[in-house]
């Protein structure tokens, strides 16, 4: 008896989810390097070959884990309307972002993501992917700040969002390199408050315009 296409899709989604959950559980318990594909499939209750139907390598599991972070960002974005302006929204988002990575993703998983993005040429470069919801959300908030007159307009919101997220990654990278030697949430908020928001401020564009005028 043939399996209905809808049923087949459900089974595939269920198998992929089982492999994903098994891998994440094993990574956290034993460490990424110590876990084998066979262990993942055994824990998931699937054939070893089934892993390669959904993932190319173990690193792809980590990429999948980080894609789920955007689901959290989408949920959090629904709360942003309660903040008075774009600057407050950015600070609130960064605080939530840092807390989520610290508490839900964890140090070891973050290290694996950074190392796989650096070492493996075929790994999806999710950290710098501007098609992610993360990039879109920051760009929207910055564009809002520009329309409010709070943020500089000499650069488009899209470009400023790239720079904003790039700077935030430096906090995550330092935290990973230092092996959790400082408060990630506090440092992230400080970066946003003391460096990023002042750099985004409308007044910070004035010196650049002044130099352009002098050169003219």
86-120 residue pLDDT tens: 999 999 999 999 999 999 888 988 888 888 777 76
Mean pLDDT by 10 residues, the chain (216 residues): 67 90 87 89 90 87 81 94 96 96 89 78 74 94 97 97 96 96 97 97 66 46
Residue where a domain stops, chosen among 15, 33, 55: 55
* pLDDT of amino acid 121: 64
pLDDT of res. 105:
86
Q: What is the pLDDT of residue 122?
A: 64
Clarify whether residues 29 and 70 are in a common domain: no
Please give the Cα distance from 140 to 147 (Å, whole number). 11
Return the number of other C-beta atoms located less than 10 Å from residue 59's C-beta: 20
Query: Are residues 111 and 203 both part of a single domain?
Result: yes
Interior/surface letters 173-192, b for 16+ CB within 10 angstroms, e for the rest: eebbeeeeeeebbeebbebb
Which residue, 55, 79, 101, sits at the end of a domain? 55
- Scanning the chain, the segments in alpha helix (DSSP H) are 5-30, 37-44, 51-54, 58-77, 86-100, 107-119, 133-147, 157-177, 184-190, 197-200, 206-215
- Is residue 24 located within the same domain as residue 86? no
Number of domains in the chain: 2
Is 102 within 8 Å of 171 (Cβ atoms)?
no
Domain hosting 207: range is: 59-215
pLDDT of residue 125: 77
Same domain, 119 and 31: no
CATH number at residue 4: 1.10.10.60
Total-model pTM: 0.79
In a shared domain, residues 63 and 40: no
- Same-domain check for residues 4 and 69: no
């Amino acid at each position: 008896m043939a399996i209905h296409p809808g049923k087949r899709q459900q089974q595939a989604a269920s198998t992929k989810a089982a492999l994903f959950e098994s891998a994440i559980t094993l990574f956290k318990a034993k460490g990424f390097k110590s876990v084998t594909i066979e262990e993942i499939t055994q824990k998931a209750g699937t054939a070893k070959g089934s892993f390669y139907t959904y993932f190319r390598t173990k690193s792809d599991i980590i990429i999948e884990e980080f894609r789920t972070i955007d689901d959290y960002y989408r949920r959090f974005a629904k709360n942003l309307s309660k903040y008075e302006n774009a600057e407050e929204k950015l600070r609130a988002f960064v605080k939530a972002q840092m807390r989520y990575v610290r508490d839900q993703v964890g140090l070891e998983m973050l290290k694996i993501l950074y190392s796989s993005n650096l070492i493996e040429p075929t790994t999806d470069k999710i950290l710098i992917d501007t098609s992610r919801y993360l990039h879109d959300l920051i760009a929207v908030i910055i564009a809002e700040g520009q329309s409010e007159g709070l943020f500089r307009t000499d650069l488009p919101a899209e470009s400023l969002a790239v720079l904003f997220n790039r700077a935030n990654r430096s906090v995550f990278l330092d935290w990973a390199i230092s092996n959790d030697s400082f408060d990630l949430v506090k440092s992230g908020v400080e970066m946003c408050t003391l460096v990023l928001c002042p750099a985004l401020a409308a007044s910070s564009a004035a010196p650049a315009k002044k130099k352009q005028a002098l050169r003219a």
